[in-house]
Amino acid sequence: MKLFYSIDQNRHAPETFLLRGQPAPSPERPERAVRLAEAITELGLTLEVPAAVDSPHLRERLARIHTPRYLEFLETIHARWQAMPGASALVAPNVHPCGGGYQYPSHPVGQAGWHLHDMACPIGADSFAGMLASAASAEAAALSVCEGEMSAYALCRPPGHHAGPERAGGFCFLNNSALAATILRERYDRVAIVDVDLHHGNGTQDIFYARGDVWTGSVHADTDAFYPFYWGGADETGSGEGQGANVNLPLPLGSDGNTFMAALDALLLRLDDFAPEAIVVALGLDAHKDDPLAGLSLETEDFRRVGARLGQLSVPVVLIQEGGYPTEALGANLAAFLAGFRKGISAD
């Protein structure tokens, strides 16, 4: 299995975000990648650097899942924001078209409110470079599978699964899992995304909701009382050509590893009907009981079980790092997952 990571991801380094109306230290900071990379090294594995962190090919692939005006916004907004008198150091919205807007504004403040869904996505001077480096890592992992690897892992931060066609949210700007699936579609006709993050991948769902060639499935904490709140219900099954190709299995808050594994097994049974030729796993580690955003109560050993089950999948798999925030257990959780995944492959 090849593993990819670009240190340029650390150029996106927000110090705070808004939590329950109060500025709070951001858990989505470079320390995440440091801890995850250390765990990989301790397993005796090597992280490779993507061949390029910005290329015309990457830009073109991102344009298949995000709108042109959103990509332009991410790249240019900080400079335009700083040109305003009295602007803050970080781009942060103060108005949102909550009821739906009729016109797309030209003003930076209006665009920030249009594209930044919540207050967890401040943008700094070097943030776009970090976003591209994260996406490039996902691109490299997906390309390695297209070239013959049976599995690959991308250490990505910022994460991506809350990012929709033209919306950032939940620390996510560019949808790395959707990008990986898009690249796999260059070789395979039927691709699936299995999301095991604590949170529902609402951005991924929105990107593929009306498509039948990419199946999306998610096990997550029930969004009735948990982020992202407005997506993630079991009745969201796709539309048009995508009808039946979106499966959500929300779990009661506080659910343990046994409950999670039962739901994962049920999700994979539903996936069998789709018969995918390749799979993207949106890998969250934030379902751990000690995660600062905790909504479930998995133990470290539960991630070994999750990894082993996903390692038994009989098609090529791309692992894309999503959530999982700095705790003493973060590195151990990834190590447990990867050990289980590799064992599952061997057992299969």
Annotated catalytic residues are 162
Question: What are the residues whose beta carbons fall under 8 Å from the beta carbon of 206, sequence distance 6 or more?
Answer: 164, 165, 167, 231
**276-306 CB burial, b ≥16 within 10 A, e <16:** bebbbbbbbbbbbbbbebbbbbbbbebbbbb
Contact 283, 198 (CB under 8 A): no
How many C-beta atoms surround the C-beta of residue 105 within 10 A? 14
Place of tokens 């050993």: 301
**135-169 CB burial, b ≥16 within 10 A, e <16:** bbbbbbbbbbbbeebebbbbbbbbbbbbbbebbbb
Going 131 to 222 to 274 to 240, the CA torsion angle's sign is negative
CA 317, distance to chain mean position in Å, is: 15
Q: What are phi and psi of 303, to 5 degrees?
A: -70, -30
Contact 267, 194 (CB under 8 A): yes
Going 231 to 232 to 235 to 239, the CA torsion angle's sign is positive
Contact 204, 193 (CB under 8 A): yes
What DSSP line would sit under 31-58, residue for residue?
A: HHHHHHHHHHHHTT--EEPPS-SS-HHH
CA 339 – CA 348 distance, rounded (Å): 14
Contact 270, 217 (CB under 8 A): yes
